[in-house]
Amino acid sequence: MRVSGRLDLDDHDPGATFGWEKELAKEQLAGEVAELAELQRVLFAEARRSVLVVLQAMDAGGKDGVLREVLVGLNPAGVRVTPFGVPAEQDLARDFLWRIHQHVPADGTIGVFNRSHYEDVLVVRVKELAPPAVWRKRFAHIRNFEQLLVDEGTTIVKLFLNVSNEEQRERLQDRVDSPEERWKFRLGDLDDRQLWPEYRKAYRDTMVRTSTADAPWYVVPGDRKWVRNLAVARILRHTLAIMDPQLPPPAESLDGVVVR
Protein backbone atom coordinates (compact mmCIF):
# COMPACT_ATOMS: atom_id res chain seq x y z
CA MET A 1 0.00 0.00 0.00
CA ARG A 2 2.90 2.34 0.69
CA VAL A 3 4.26 3.91 -2.49
CA SER A 4 8.00 3.53 -2.87
CA GLY A 5 9.57 4.92 -6.01
CA ARG A 6 7.71 2.66 -8.42
CA LEU A 7 3.98 2.49 -8.82
CA ASP A 8 1.56 0.81 -11.16
CA LEU A 9 -1.92 1.74 -10.00
CA ASP A 10 -3.23 -1.36 -11.78
CA ASP A 11 -1.44 -3.41 -9.14
CA HIS A 12 -3.69 -1.84 -6.49
CA ASP A 13 -7.13 -3.44 -6.47
CA PRO A 14 -9.72 -0.88 -5.29
CA GLY A 15 -11.82 -3.83 -4.11
CA ALA A 16 -9.04 -5.48 -2.08
CA THR A 17 -9.99 -6.88 1.33
CA PHE A 18 -6.60 -8.20 2.51
CA GLY A 19 -8.53 -11.24 3.74
CA TRP A 20 -10.28 -9.15 6.40
CA GLU A 21 -13.82 -9.96 7.43
CA LYS A 22 -16.46 -7.31 7.41
CA GLU A 23 -18.10 -7.82 10.79
CA LEU A 24 -14.78 -8.26 12.57
CA ALA A 25 -13.36 -5.24 10.75
CA LYS A 26 -16.06 -3.02 12.23
CA GLU A 27 -15.09 -4.10 15.74
CA GLN A 28 -11.42 -3.68 14.93
CA LEU A 29 -12.10 -0.19 13.63
CA ALA A 30 -13.56 0.78 16.99
CA GLY A 31 -10.44 -0.58 18.70
CA GLU A 32 -8.09 1.27 16.37
CA VAL A 33 -10.00 4.52 16.80
CA ALA A 34 -9.86 4.15 20.59
CA GLU A 35 -6.09 3.64 20.46
CA LEU A 36 -5.75 6.55 18.08
CA ALA A 37 -7.72 8.76 20.46
CA GLU A 38 -5.44 7.76 23.34
CA LEU A 39 -2.31 8.53 21.30
CA GLN A 40 -3.84 11.85 20.26
CA ARG A 41 -4.49 12.70 23.90
CA VAL A 42 -0.80 12.28 24.69
CA LEU A 43 0.32 14.07 21.52
CA PHE A 44 -1.81 17.02 22.58
CA ALA A 45 -0.37 17.02 26.11
CA GLU A 46 3.18 16.69 24.79
CA ALA A 47 2.53 19.70 22.53
CA ARG A 48 5.88 19.48 20.74
CA ARG A 49 5.04 17.79 17.45
CA SER A 50 2.16 17.61 15.00
CA VAL A 51 0.66 15.33 12.38
CA LEU A 52 -0.52 16.28 8.91
CA VAL A 53 -2.89 13.91 7.11
CA VAL A 54 -3.39 14.64 3.42
CA LEU A 55 -6.56 13.14 1.92
CA GLN A 56 -6.80 12.88 -1.84
CA ALA A 57 -9.24 10.99 -4.03
CA MET A 58 -11.37 11.29 -7.12
CA ASP A 59 -14.92 12.59 -6.60
CA ALA A 60 -16.96 10.25 -4.40
CA GLY A 61 -13.72 8.60 -3.37
CA GLY A 62 -14.61 8.64 0.32
CA LYS A 63 -12.75 11.61 1.79
CA ASP A 64 -15.78 12.79 3.72
CA GLY A 65 -16.49 9.22 4.81
CA VAL A 66 -13.01 8.96 6.33
CA LEU A 67 -13.59 12.18 8.24
CA ARG A 68 -16.97 10.99 9.54
CA GLU A 69 -16.16 7.37 10.23
CA VAL A 70 -12.49 7.31 11.28
CA LEU A 71 -11.57 10.70 12.68
CA VAL A 72 -14.87 10.93 14.54
CA GLY A 73 -13.38 9.37 17.67
CA LEU A 74 -10.71 12.03 18.15
CA ASN A 75 -10.89 14.99 20.47
CA PRO A 76 -12.02 17.89 18.27
CA ALA A 77 -9.92 20.30 20.31
CA GLY A 78 -6.82 18.72 18.80
CA VAL A 79 -7.95 18.18 15.21
CA ARG A 80 -8.45 20.70 12.48
CA VAL A 81 -9.85 19.75 9.10
CA THR A 82 -9.17 22.13 6.23
CA PRO A 83 -10.94 21.65 2.91
CA PHE A 84 -9.24 23.05 -0.16
CA GLY A 85 -11.65 23.88 -2.97
CA VAL A 86 -11.23 26.08 -6.00
CA PRO A 87 -8.68 28.76 -5.08
CA ALA A 88 -10.01 32.25 -4.44
CA GLU A 89 -8.71 35.32 -6.20
CA GLN A 90 -6.25 36.15 -3.45
CA ASP A 91 -4.87 32.61 -3.59
CA LEU A 92 -4.38 32.68 -7.35
CA ALA A 93 -2.57 35.98 -7.02
CA ARG A 94 0.19 34.21 -5.06
CA ASP A 95 2.32 31.08 -5.18
CA PHE A 96 0.32 27.84 -4.86
CA LEU A 97 1.60 27.05 -1.37
CA TRP A 98 0.57 30.35 0.15
CA ARG A 99 -2.98 29.29 0.94
CA ILE A 100 -1.78 25.92 2.18
CA HIS A 101 0.99 26.90 4.55
CA GLN A 102 -1.20 28.91 6.88
CA HIS A 103 -3.25 25.78 7.66
CA VAL A 104 -0.46 23.40 8.68
CA PRO A 105 -1.06 21.88 12.13
CA ALA A 106 0.24 23.48 15.30
CA ASP A 107 2.28 21.49 17.84
CA GLY A 108 0.16 18.92 19.62
CA THR A 109 -2.51 18.81 16.94
CA ILE A 110 -3.54 16.74 13.95
CA GLY A 111 -4.27 18.64 10.77
CA VAL A 112 -6.30 17.01 8.03
CA PHE A 113 -6.27 18.40 4.51
CA ASN A 114 -9.40 17.47 2.55
CA ARG A 115 -7.74 17.97 -0.82
CA SER A 116 -4.52 19.89 -0.65
CA HIS A 117 -1.55 21.40 -2.48
CA TYR A 118 -1.67 18.23 -4.58
CA GLU A 119 -4.59 19.68 -6.54
CA ASP A 120 -2.01 22.05 -8.00
CA VAL A 121 -0.37 19.15 -9.84
CA LEU A 122 -3.59 17.16 -10.41
CA VAL A 123 -6.63 19.19 -11.49
CA VAL A 124 -4.33 21.99 -12.61
CA ARG A 125 -2.44 19.61 -14.87
CA VAL A 126 -5.42 17.65 -16.17
CA LYS A 127 -7.55 20.71 -16.87
CA GLU A 128 -4.57 22.71 -18.12
CA LEU A 129 -5.10 25.52 -15.64
CA ALA A 130 -1.37 26.21 -15.71
CA PRO A 131 1.22 25.38 -18.38
CA PRO A 132 3.46 22.30 -17.92
CA ALA A 133 6.46 24.57 -17.35
CA VAL A 134 4.72 25.80 -14.20
CA TRP A 135 3.21 22.63 -12.71
CA ARG A 136 6.24 20.45 -13.45
CA LYS A 137 8.39 22.51 -11.11
CA ARG A 138 5.84 22.05 -8.36
CA PHE A 139 6.84 18.47 -7.57
CA ALA A 140 10.18 19.70 -6.25
CA HIS A 141 8.52 22.61 -4.46
CA ILE A 142 6.13 20.17 -2.80
CA ARG A 143 8.92 17.83 -1.70
CA ASN A 144 10.87 20.73 -0.25
CA PHE A 145 7.82 22.21 1.46
CA GLU A 146 6.95 18.89 3.07
CA GLN A 147 10.55 18.34 4.11
CA LEU A 148 10.49 21.75 5.79
CA LEU A 149 7.42 20.72 7.76
CA VAL A 150 8.97 17.36 8.69
CA ASP A 151 12.22 19.00 9.79
CA GLU A 152 10.28 21.37 12.02
CA GLY A 153 8.35 18.62 13.78
CA THR A 154 5.41 17.55 11.61
CA THR A 155 4.81 13.93 10.70
CA ILE A 156 3.15 13.67 7.29
CA VAL A 157 0.86 10.90 6.04
CA LYS A 158 -0.62 11.09 2.57
CA LEU A 159 -3.59 8.91 1.68
CA PHE A 160 -4.92 8.25 -1.79
CA LEU A 161 -8.35 6.65 -1.54
CA ASN A 162 -8.40 4.44 -4.59
CA VAL A 163 -11.93 3.87 -5.93
CA SER A 164 -12.62 2.07 -9.18
CA ASN A 165 -14.25 3.74 -12.15
CA GLU A 166 -17.39 1.61 -11.73
CA GLU A 167 -17.69 2.32 -8.00
CA GLN A 168 -17.37 6.05 -8.69
CA ARG A 169 -20.13 5.76 -11.30
CA GLU A 170 -22.45 4.10 -8.80
CA ARG A 171 -21.71 6.61 -6.04
CA LEU A 172 -22.22 9.60 -8.34
CA GLN A 173 -25.47 8.09 -9.60
CA ASP A 174 -26.60 7.58 -6.00
CA ARG A 175 -25.89 11.23 -5.34
CA VAL A 176 -28.05 12.27 -8.27
CA ASP A 177 -30.85 9.93 -7.24
CA SER A 178 -30.89 10.65 -3.53
CA PRO A 179 -32.50 13.89 -2.28
CA GLU A 180 -30.28 13.59 0.81
CA GLU A 181 -27.05 13.53 -1.19
CA ARG A 182 -27.88 15.59 -4.23
CA TRP A 183 -26.28 18.68 -2.73
CA LYS A 184 -22.87 17.04 -3.08
CA PHE A 185 -23.22 16.62 -6.81
CA ARG A 186 -22.01 19.16 -9.33
CA LEU A 187 -22.35 18.74 -13.09
CA GLY A 188 -18.63 19.49 -13.22
CA ASP A 189 -18.04 16.13 -11.52
CA LEU A 190 -19.04 14.54 -14.84
CA ASP A 191 -16.34 16.50 -16.67
CA ASP A 192 -13.77 15.19 -14.22
CA ARG A 193 -15.14 11.68 -14.68
CA GLN A 194 -14.63 12.00 -18.44
CA LEU A 195 -10.99 12.76 -17.69
CA TRP A 196 -10.54 9.61 -15.56
CA PRO A 197 -7.52 8.22 -17.49
CA GLU A 198 -5.77 11.60 -17.36
CA TYR A 199 -6.39 11.85 -13.61
CA ARG A 200 -5.09 8.32 -13.02
CA LYS A 201 -1.92 9.18 -14.87
CA ALA A 202 -1.53 12.44 -12.99
CA TYR A 203 -2.08 10.69 -9.64
CA ARG A 204 0.43 8.01 -10.51
CA ASP A 205 3.13 10.48 -11.55
CA THR A 206 2.44 12.64 -8.55
CA MET A 207 2.73 9.83 -6.03
CA VAL A 208 5.92 8.52 -7.60
CA ARG A 209 7.50 11.97 -7.53
CA THR A 210 6.42 12.95 -4.05
CA SER A 211 6.43 9.76 -1.99
CA THR A 212 9.48 10.12 0.24
CA ALA A 213 10.68 8.24 3.30
CA ASP A 214 9.61 11.18 5.46
CA ALA A 215 6.31 11.93 3.71
CA PRO A 216 5.01 8.69 2.19
CA TRP A 217 1.94 8.13 0.06
CA TYR A 218 -0.36 5.24 0.84
CA VAL A 219 -2.78 3.80 -1.72
CA VAL A 220 -5.88 2.73 0.20
CA PRO A 221 -8.45 0.43 -1.42
CA GLY A 222 -11.59 2.56 -1.67
CA ASP A 223 -14.43 0.46 -3.02
CA ARG A 224 -15.38 -1.17 0.27
CA LYS A 225 -15.92 1.45 2.91
CA TRP A 226 -15.20 -0.92 5.79
CA VAL A 227 -11.81 -1.87 4.29
CA ARG A 228 -10.98 1.76 3.60
CA ASN A 229 -11.89 2.83 7.14
CA LEU A 230 -9.91 0.10 8.86
CA ALA A 231 -6.90 0.62 6.58
CA VAL A 232 -6.86 4.37 7.24
CA ALA A 233 -7.31 3.88 11.00
CA ARG A 234 -4.42 1.41 11.08
CA ILE A 235 -2.10 3.67 9.09
CA LEU A 236 -2.84 6.61 11.39
CA ARG A 237 -2.62 4.60 14.61
CA HIS A 238 0.66 3.05 13.44
CA THR A 239 2.04 6.48 12.52
CA LEU A 240 1.23 7.92 15.94
CA ALA A 241 2.51 4.81 17.72
CA ILE A 242 5.88 5.23 15.98
CA MET A 243 5.97 8.87 17.06
CA ASP A 244 5.50 7.56 20.59
CA PRO A 245 4.31 10.80 22.23
CA GLN A 246 5.05 11.24 25.92
CA LEU A 247 3.25 13.11 28.67
CA PRO A 248 5.39 16.11 29.60
CA PRO A 249 6.95 16.31 33.06
CA PRO A 250 5.38 18.92 35.34
CA ALA A 251 6.95 22.34 34.86
CA GLU A 252 7.91 22.49 38.52
CA SER A 253 8.00 19.96 41.33
CA LEU A 254 4.53 19.12 42.63
CA ASP A 255 5.72 16.85 45.44
CA GLY A 256 3.54 17.25 48.47
CA VAL A 257 1.21 19.78 46.84
CA VAL A 258 -2.24 19.48 48.39
CA VAL A 259 -5.22 21.09 46.73
CA ARG A 260 -7.62 22.51 49.34
Q: What is the C-alpha to C-alpha distance for residues 29 and 26, in angstroms, rounded to an integer?
A: 5
Identify each DSSP E strand in the chain by its residue range: 50-57, 79-83, 110-114, 154-162, 217-221
Closest approach of Cβ 105 to Mg ion, in Å? 24
β-partners of residue 160 are 56, 219
* Cβ-closest position to Mg ion: 59
Q: What is the C-alpha to C-alpha distance for residues 91 and 85, in angstroms, rounded to an integer?
A: 11
Which lies closer to ligand AMP via its Cβ, residue 62 or residue 221? Answer: 62
Closest approach of Cβ 134 to Mg ion, in Å? 25
* Cβ-closest position to ligand AMP: 119
Q: Give the C-alpha distances (Å, rounded to integers) separating 201 from 191, 208, 255.
A: 16, 11, 61
Which lies closer to ligand AMP via its Cβ, residue 63 or residue 237? Answer: 63
**Of 67, 215, 85, 108, which is closest to residue 151 (Cα–Cα)?**
215
Which lies closer to ligand AMP via its Cβ, residue 184 or residue 238? Answer: 184
Cβ atoms of 115 and 59 within 8 Å: the answer is no
Of 20, 73, 87, 200, which one interacts with ligand AMP (CB under 6 A)? 87
Which lies closer to ligand AMP via its Cβ, residue 166 or residue 191? Answer: 191
Pick out residues in 100-159 that bind ligand AMP (CB under 6 A).
115, 119-120, 123-124, 129
Closest approach of Cβ 59 to Mg ion, in Å? 5
β-partners of residue 126 are none
85 binds ligand AMP (CB under 6 A): yes
Q: Which residues form the interface with ligand AMP (CB under 6 A)?
A: 84-87, 115, 119-120, 123-124, 129
